[in-house]
């Protein structure tokens, strides 16, 4: 029988990568918290309707990329493809909406999209994100960008650029949409099938096209910022002013429309120079003032971003390698198993990382394994040690060996560890 392998587009996060990802999340949470954001966790599956209404049924995410299934009672559920709609639902449904706005929330966890797998693109991937809900002030847009920006700086990630745009609102977007349609109307025959479909379904998405024929026509396309109503124009100015106050450089990108339907006004992405094509965004976000009502809740304007953790970790400098265990406790005889387990537990309670090797193989084999583990010391317990209630402790880097009372073992291991650290510095 062929071995069973993981589903296409998924990844096993092996310890080193998982530690890098957890470290990136911890840094993000810490920085978000310094701006007043607190962590929230919502279910990994939601009712399908949440995304159909929230993200929009003309988007690629909803039309082609959702993992949707009926549960045993016939309800249609979907593995969340993103977390803005779920967080807004949780906000609307809970006591959070009684707090003074804006309510600042952060999150991290797996998302699911049936996308074509590739470099930095998975079917199960992880996001870290924040949402600031209940406040329409444009300065808040700059604040969420500042959280992301400080986080990437903390991770030591360079080579990034902030792309910024405003796509207007329900008042001014129809005129822009019409201008786009008028621009492309004489050239429909020149457009590839997919872009013709986009133009019919969701004209703004054509600005995202990577097709060379469409690109040619996009060179002279109308710009969203020329169509903004006075309120949207004012908001866009204020976002830029606040970004300058945070000293965050940005590029205005007239073609940045984003793939989710809930955005109004500010949209942004952070790109990295090493990410190419459709996967160049480390994170994306924007304002979504009408989303709460679309979900059936009272109005709650908001803004947020989400970053792809796989992409962030792929580009960030490698984190400190995982620390090896400090001690390996070995039993040399079966009669010593009890004492070995007791000692290992005592050392762990003293704050050391301990591997307990009490199997039946030879002490020689155990010593070899201890050396390979990268541990600093081995604690050996045989018949003599059981009788004397002492432990033989060997420092692996030098071969030094001492017999100690059990209670003294932690102190000795620490002393050796400190000595090694100082020797390493010399």
Binding site for ligand HAM (CB under 6 A): 82-84, 113, 115, 120-122, 125, 127, 129, 131, 259-260, 281-286, 288, 304-308, 310-311
CB of 315 to ligand HAM, least distance (A): 11
CA distances from 287 to 24, 107, 165, 302, 349 (A): 24, 17, 11, 6, 48
* Helix ranges (DSSP H) in 114-209: 139-154, 173-184, 193-201
The span from the CA of 253 to the CA of 392, in Å, is 67
The residue among 160 and 347 lying less far from ligand HAM, judged by its C-beta, is: 160
Q: Is the dihedral of CA 194, 195, 198, 200 positive or negative?
A: negative
The residue among 119 and 405 lying less far from ligand HAM, judged by its C-beta, is: 119
State the SS3 of 79-99: ECCCCHHHHHHHHHHCHHHHC
CB of 385 to ligand HAM, least distance (A): 53
Name the residue number minimizing CB distance to ligand HAM: 308
Cβ count near 414 (within 10 Å): 16
The residue among 306 and 332 lying less far from ligand HAM, judged by its C-beta, is: 306
Closest C-alpha to 376, from 421, 319, 331: 421
User: Residue 373, CB half-sphere, CA atoms under 13 Å: how many?
Assistant: 22
CB of 406 to ligand HAM, least distance (A): 50
The residue among 227 and 305 lying less far from ligand HAM, judged by its C-beta, is: 305
Q: Is the dihedral of CA 100, 104, 110, 114 positive or negative?
A: positive
The residue among 131 and 385 lying less far from ligand HAM, judged by its C-beta, is: 131
The residue among 198 and 311 lying less far from ligand HAM, judged by its C-beta, is: 311
CB of 196 to ligand HAM, least distance (A): 24
CB of 156 to ligand HAM, least distance (A): 18
CB of 401 to ligand HAM, least distance (A): 51
The residue among 309 and 340 lying less far from ligand HAM, judged by its C-beta, is: 309
159: left (phi over 0), alpha (psi -120 to 50) or beta: left
CB of 284 to ligand HAM, least distance (A): 3
């Amino acid at each position: 029988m062929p071995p069973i392998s993981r589903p296409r587009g998924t990844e096993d996060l092996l310890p080193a990568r998982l530690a890098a990802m957890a470290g990136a999340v911890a840094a993000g949470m810490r920085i978000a918290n310094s701006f007043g954001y607190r962590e929230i966790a919502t279910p990994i599956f939601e009712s399908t309707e949440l995304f159909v209404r929230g993200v929009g049924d003309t988007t690629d995410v909803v039309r082609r990329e959702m993992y949707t299934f009926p549960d045993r009672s016939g309800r249609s559920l979907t593995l969340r493809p993103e977390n803005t709609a779920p967080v807004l639902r949780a906000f609307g449904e809970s006591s959070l909406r009684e707090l003074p706005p804006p309510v600042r929330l952060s999150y991290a966890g797996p998302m699911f999209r049936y996308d074509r797998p590739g470099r930095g693109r998975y079917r199960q991937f992880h996001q870290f994100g924040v949402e600031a809900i209940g406040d329409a002030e444009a300065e808040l847009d700059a604040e969420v960008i500042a959280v992301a920006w400080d986080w990437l700086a903390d991770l030591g990630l360079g080579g990034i650029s902030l792309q910024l745009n405003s796509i207007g609102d329900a008042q001014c977007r129809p005129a822009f949409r019409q201008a786009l349609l008028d621009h492309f109307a004489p050239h429909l025959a020149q457009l590839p099938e997919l872009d013709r479909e986009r133009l019919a379904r969701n004209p703004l998405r054509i600005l995202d096209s990577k097709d060379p024929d469409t690109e040619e026509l996009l060179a002279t396309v109308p710009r969203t910022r020329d169509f903004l109503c006075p309120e949207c124009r004012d908001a866009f100015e204020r976002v830029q002013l606040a970004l300058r106050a945070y000293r965050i450089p940005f590029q205005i990108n007239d073609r940045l429309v984003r793939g989710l339907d809930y955005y109004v006004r500010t949209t942004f992405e952070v790109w990295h120079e090493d990410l190419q094509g459709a996967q160049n965004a480390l994170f994306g976000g924007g304002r979504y003032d009408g989303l709460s009502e679309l979900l059936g809740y009272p109005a709650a304007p908001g803004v947020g971003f989400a970053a792809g953790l796989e992409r962030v970790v792929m580009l960030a400098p490698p984190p400190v390698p995982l620390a090896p265990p400090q001690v390996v406790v070995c039993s040399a005889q079966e009669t010593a198993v009890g004492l070995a387990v007791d000692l290992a537990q005592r050392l762990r309670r003293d704050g050391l990382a301990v591997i307990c090797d009490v199997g039946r193989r030879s002490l020689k084999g155990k010593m070899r394994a201890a050396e390979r583990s990268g541990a600093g010391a081995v604690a050996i317990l045989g018949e003599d040690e059981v009788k004397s209630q002492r432990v033989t402790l060997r420092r692996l880097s030098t071969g030094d060996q001492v017999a100690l009372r059990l209670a003294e073992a932690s102190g000795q291991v620490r002393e050796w560890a400190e000595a090694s650290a100082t020797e390493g510095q010399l």
